[in-house]
Amino acid sequence: MQEKVSEYIDRYVLFKGEGTWGTWNAPDTFPNYLLEFEGTTTEERDDQPIIAGAPDLKARTFQEEGVVARMLMQVVSSKIFEYCLGSHAVANTASPFTIGIGSTLPSMSIYRGLQPGASGETGTISVGYYGMKVDTWELTLEKGEDVVLELNFAGKGCTVPSAMAKPSVSVTIPTFGFYHGEVVYGPTTLAYLNRIALSGNNNLDARLSAGSLTFRPVKLREGERQLTGRMSIDSPLSTFATDVLARGESSIIVYLRGSTANQGTLTFTIRNIALDEYPDPIRGLDAIEAEIPFSARGSVGYDMIQLVQTSALTWAQLPY
């Protein structure tokens, strides 16, 4: 007998912001340029051998449930960064839109749908994750690559919701490429930058409580907001060597300049950055490149990172 093969040709992910953390909100937003998605639900339990009867008898206690997820997507607007940083201003009106460090992070519900083909299964295979907040994120500009954002989530729980319709994909706004980027370090525009990565960590901690009558977290504690980065350059090497030794602080501005008015310009301003080290690698006659790590910090009146987008679209019209 020929074996049936499940191919799941149609696969899609939807999400939607939650009004209350951990309360499932039926997702209806499609990230148009989603490259990868992976969700994982872990059921923790404790197995202990008991002194009775057969040698394979155990007492089993189910403990807690943990939910995490990962997304990799191409960047088309500033909108997703609200979930990374926490706050935005001037919503649903004309640009510029400003996103900075918020007092709390918004959460979202995420839906994953599979529609089988060449399979004995029927209908849509659905899984939902809720109470999802961004734990870590990384934005990368690298030569020969698109501008991509990796998001790692922690959440409250997993569910199997009713099937949701496959969305219609809209690619009316192009993605950003490496050549759209421009980086300014202090007063210097870097003409020989090969790569820069910005990494944020919100240090989420799932908190459980005795007496809550739930095996899921009762809240996600948000810890210190951290921002680090790495940039790979081959000029001006002497400037960076001097700045590392000077043990001072500067700023970095990363621009993504779109080719259309709708795409607009994304401006990331990273303040109070200190360069961590100056590596000095020489290998034969290979090109000499220094990858310099750095870290940022906030100060009174200034977020450690702020994102401003100008666009011909309103906030509500911006795609994910």
Residue 178's φ and ψ, nearest 5 degrees, are -55, -40
Res 275 pLDDT > 80 = yes
Q: Considering the domain boundaries, does residue 225 fall inside one?
A: yes
More confident residue, 145 or 110: 110
More confident residue, 191 or 227: 227
Name which of 218, 219, 237 is nearest 282 in CA terms.
237
Q: What is the mean pLDDT of residues 279-285?
A: 81
Res 2 pLDDT > 60 = no
**What percent of the chain is helix, strand and coil (3-state, nearest 5)?**
5, 50, 45
Name which of 29, 36, 28 is nearest 11 in CA terms.
36
Q: Considering the domain boundaries, does residue 87 fall inside one?
A: yes
Q: Considering the domain boundaries, does residue 14 fall inside one?
A: yes
pLDDT in tens, 211-246: 888 888 888 999 999 999 999 888 787 787 788 788
Query: 178: which DSSP letter?
Result: G
- Token readout for 248 is 């001072």
Q: Which range of residues forms the domain containing residue 105?
A: 10-42+62-310
Domains held by the chain: number: 1
Q: Considering the domain boundaries, does residue 5 fall inside one?
A: no
pLDDT of 216 reads: 84
CB-based burial label for 42 (10 Å; 0-12, 13-18, 19+)? exposed
Q: 215-218: long-range contacts (C-beta < 8 A, 24 or more apart)?
A: 215/62, 215/63, 215/64, 215/65, 216/22, 216/64, 216/65, 216/156, 216/157, 217/22, 217/64, 217/131, 217/156
pLDDT of 190 reads: 84
Share of the chain above pLDDT 70, in %: 94
- Token readout for 169 is 């994909």
Res 186 pLDDT > 90 = no
- Indicate the pLDDT class of residue 1, thresholds 50, 70 and 90: very low
Torsion over CA of 308, 312, 314 and 319, rounded to 10 degrees? -80
Res 201 pLDDT > 50 = yes
pLDDT in tens, 51-89: 877 888 888 888 888 899 999 999 999 999 999 998 776
119 CB-near residues (< 8 Å, 6+ apart):
4, 5, 6, 7, 8
Q: Considering the domain boundaries, does residue 320 fall inside one?
A: no
- Indicate the pLDDT class of residue 32, thresholds 50, 70 and 90: confident
DSSP 104-133: S---EEEEEEEE-SSSS--S-EEEEEEEEE
Share of the chain above pLDDT 90, in %: 46
Q: Considering the domain boundaries, does residue 261 fall inside one?
A: yes
Q: Considering the domain boundaries, does residue 57 fall inside one?
A: no
Q: What is the mean pLDDT of residues 22-50?
A: 91
- Indicate the pLDDT class of residue 191, thresholds 50, 70 and 90: confident
More confident residue, 6 or 177: 177
How high does pLDDT run on average in the chain?
87
pLDDT of 89 reads: 65
Q: Considering the domain boundaries, does residue 31 fall inside one?
A: yes
What Cα–Cα distance (Å) separates residue 13 from each residue in 85, 280, 297? 22, 44, 34
